[in-house]
Amino acid sequence: MAAKERNGRRPGKLPQDSDRSGRVIGSAVNVAINRGFVVGREVLVGSIPGIVVGYNIASFGLFVGSAYPLVVRTALGVTKCGMDEVSLA
């Protein structure tokens, strides 16, 4: 039995265009900043008060930066939020 030839990719996974996803994430973060969601700003996640502590630049996983660009600290913990989930306090 011959060894399996490896080409650096996992079966079933499509190669990601990291340059394209980086532009999309950067655009989402810029939209958040332009709407006033800057680091240190008090916000409401639903009715829970919080503070913007950073921006999500993840390009893979369940909570990618293009959909959830804000990182918010609340009394319940730190979470990644979409623009439709938060409002300025």
- Render the chain in DSSP notation, one character per residue: -PPPPP-S--TTPPPP-HHHHHHHHHHHHHHHHHTT--TT-EEEETTEEEEEEEE----SSSS-TTT--EEEEETTEEEEE-GGGEEE-
Tell me which architecture the domain covering 39-89 has in CATH.
Roll (2.30)
* Pairing between β-strand 42-45 and β-strand 48-55 as defined by DSSP bridges: antiparallel
Domain limits, the chain: 39-89
Q: Is the pLDDT of residue 1 over 50?
A: yes
Asked whether 24 and 66 are in contact (CB, 8 A), the reply is: yes
Tokens 């600290």 belong to residue: 73
What pTM was estimated for this model as a whole? 0.76
Strand partners, 80: 71
The 10s digit of each residue's pLDDT in 41-89 is: 999 999 999 999 999 999 989 999 999 999 999 999 999 999 999 999 8
